Amino acid sequence: MREFIYSPILPIYKFPVGACKVFENITINVKVRNDIYIQSLKLIIKNDNEQIYRMIDCFYTHHEEQYHNFCCTFQVLDVGIYWYYFEVDNGNYFLGPDECLEAIKTNNPACWLLSIHQDFVSSLSWYKGRIMYQIFVDRFYKGGNNPPKQDIIFHKSWDEDVYYKPIDGKILNNDFFGGDLKGIIHKLDYLKSLNVGLIYLSPIFEAQSNHKYDTCDYFKIDSMFGTLDDFKELINEAQKRDIYIILDGVFNHTGDNSRYFNKYGKYDSVGAYQSQETPYYHWYSFINWPYEYDCWWGFSTLPSVNQRNYEVLEFFTGPNGVINYWLSFGARGFRLDVVDELNDNFVNLIHDAIKRVNKENIVIGEVWEDASIKISYNQRRRYFNGRQLDTVMNYPLKRAILSYIRDNNWRYLQIKIRKLLNNYPKHTINTLMNHLGTHDTMRLLNNFAYSREEDLSKDQQAHYIMRDEELQQAIMKLKLAITLQFMLPGVPCIYYGDEIGMQGFRDPFCRRTFRWHDINEDIFKWYQLLSNIRISHDCFKDGTYEEAYINDNIFSFFRHGKDYRILVIVNNNDYDFIYNISYGLDLINNEEVKQTVIVKGKSV
């Protein structure tokens, strides 16, 4: 029996679970084993500067089985990050969290996180419970007949491989296949067969590269992707199928070839590189004009905008700005590229601009770490204060799922989920973008290859294809991974082609064209099965998460609905696992289950 019991992810010990609202009543219960005599138990709360914010007495309330219960209720009056622990008998010893966030006795306590936020502007009820699909536009499907630009490489065949070798010592990202907005329209019914309700598009504004993160004109659809009318048609046709479009917002930097910088004189406007007299000059920060300037991570092709310049802020977030323009056509929000490069004021203005068009529009941030405690450029970020981001890309969960399935690290997954549940607002938990692959990471299937990416040359990566036993082993593990992706709290995001078993290591091999003629039916049907289960049960929209049995490479949990619960069991062992249950319905095989559930090895 443990001496002390406290866990902030269980409502019987902390209510509400997770980040809390300002002025909200927060109740803490700590159980103390009845053979341990204590005179006092205090909750010590520190602010983010490690100064004591409050000291609150916990009072004995009742005896329960073999434990005494100590309780306190309090409010926090200011938005921010706080840290807390418990002091026993005026500092005789303390209670702090172990790695699983459970209370342990110590003389040098760590702290639990307590995040306090304002009410979020949106409910996002339209978004929760859906399935997202990320499309890298040039590589998805060619539906139109858009003429290629000059100074690019246009592949003659859709099935050719991507260019990966430098040209004159540079990676130009200038090879194209012709995927476009018309192509997405043609494939909307395919996406609906996967129960997709959200499409997240890679950047679609005019740019030089195939990835379009080097924007040249924020008010134009790239000509190789189509026209404004094509975009409007995509919005309308998607909505007919109950699918909503989310755009990629690249607001930290432009392309050096843009009409605003105009390094090569492509545009008839006078850019910042050309003259210090142009209004665009103050959009950028020059060190030694025109050759030295601030740019994203040292890439001279991506000059950073001056986020303190009023005209820049108005251009993106004003009533006639970029955000208002595109959302007015019916797009439902933005994913903010490299949001940790944007200062707080800019993020605030972006949030307000998105919500001004429709308060239910969504703001998603690209954050690779725990966004609740993110520090960038020596500054604690305030993403979840209620006025910045609704949610983020869930890279911490991605890494944890892959670590469990690939390396049998079930404890790491358990810890990571507990920390997310404790650190994030419930509003954010239910809207997390749960992805296992993106345009920046290797294909999901390749995470389970026999060979590791770092051990292969680029040439070897380009020609690496899993076959036979290796492929079957990888598919088995992929099924376990996507089961967790679809059943854990948040919104699962499918990276185009993962659902058909596409292979490829990181960029550019994760950006190959969709192989419409080479669909792995085993993988595709598993995605369909999981998506059918997910959209048929509201517990995956906003139901609570509860651990069931997590040990010995077994990961099982409940998702609670209003009058039912769903048990998810993932067996990452090579042998069977037996779980006792009185009665239930096996949703995988659609059959009744009584007394015991037998989960075969490497299955769910």
- At residue 159, the pLDDT reads 97
The verdict on whether 352 is a catalytic residue reads no
- At residue 197, the pLDDT reads 99
Question: What rounded mean pLDDT belongs to the chain?
Answer: 98
Question: Residue 308, Cβ neighbours under 10 Å: how many?
Answer: 12
- pLDDT confidence of 268, banded at 50, 70, 90? very high
Does the 4-117 domain belong in CATH 3.40.50.1000? no
- Is 401:461 a contact under the CB 8 Å cutoff? no
- pLDDT confidence of 150, banded at 50, 70, 90? very high
What tokens appear for 1 in the block?
């029996």
DSSP of 59-123:
EEEEEETTEEEEEEEE---S-EEEEEEEEETTTTEEEEE-TTS-EEEESS---EEEEEEPPPS--
What tokens appear for 300 in the block?
């001279």
Indicate which residue of 206, 222, 256, 337 is catalytic: 337
For the stretch 52-109, pLDDT in tens is 999 999 999 999 999 999 999 999 999 999 999 999 999 999 999 999 999 999 999 9
Q: What CATH code is assigned to 253-306? A: 3.90.400
What tokens appear for 419 in the block?
């920390």
Q: Once rounded to an integer, what is the mean pLDDT over residues 23-46?
A: 98
Helix (H) or strand (E) holding 599: strand 591-599
- pLDDT confidence of 310, banded at 50, 70, 90? very high
Q: How far apart are CA 528 and CA 525, in angstroms?
A: 5
Q: Once rounded to an integer, what is the mean pLDDT over residues 584-597?
A: 94
Indicate which residue of 206, 256, 366, 499 is catalytic: 366
What tokens appear for 82 in the block?
């706080």
Distances in Å between the Cα of 247 and the Cα atoms of 133, 135, 195, 322, 392 are 12, 10, 20, 12, 14
- Is 445:475 a contact under the CB 8 Å cutoff? yes
- At residue 241, the pLDDT reads 99
Whole-model pTM: value is 0.98
- Is 529:470 a contact under the CB 8 Å cutoff? no
- At residue 538, the pLDDT reads 97
Q: What CATH code is assigned to 143-252+307-535? A: 3.20.20.80
Q: How far apart are CA 167 and CA 552, in angstroms?
A: 50
Q: Once rounded to an integer, what is the mean pLDDT over residues 444-459?
A: 97
- pLDDT confidence of 512, banded at 50, 70, 90? very high
- At residue 169, the pLDDT reads 85
Coil vs helix vs strand at 326: helix
For the stretch 215-251, pLDDT in tens is 999 999 999 999 999 999 999 999 999 999 999 999 9
Q: Per-residue pLDDT for 170 more than 90?
A: no
CA 58 to chain centre: 37
Q: Once rounded to an integer, what is the mean pLDDT over residues 478-494?
A: 99
Question: Residue 33, Cβ neighbours under 10 Å: how many?
Answer: 13
- At residue 126, the pLDDT reads 98
- At residue 304, the pLDDT reads 99
Q: Residue 553 contacts by C-beta under 8 Å, 6 or more apart in sequence?
A: 408, 410, 571, 572, 573
Helix (H) or strand (E) holding 88: strand 80-88
- Is 282:311 a contact under the CB 8 Å cutoff? yes
For the chain, which residues make up each domain, given as ranges? 4-117, 143-252+307-535, 253-306, 543-599
- Is 292:245 a contact under the CB 8 Å cutoff? no
The verdict on whether 294 is a catalytic residue reads no
Q: Per-residue pLDDT for 167 more than 90?
A: no
- Is 128:165 a contact under the CB 8 Å cutoff? no
Q: How far apart are CA 570 and CA 589, in angstroms?
A: 15
Q: What is the DSSP letter of 174?
A: -
Q: How far apart are CA 60 and CA 63, in angstroms?
A: 9
- At residue 168, the pLDDT reads 85
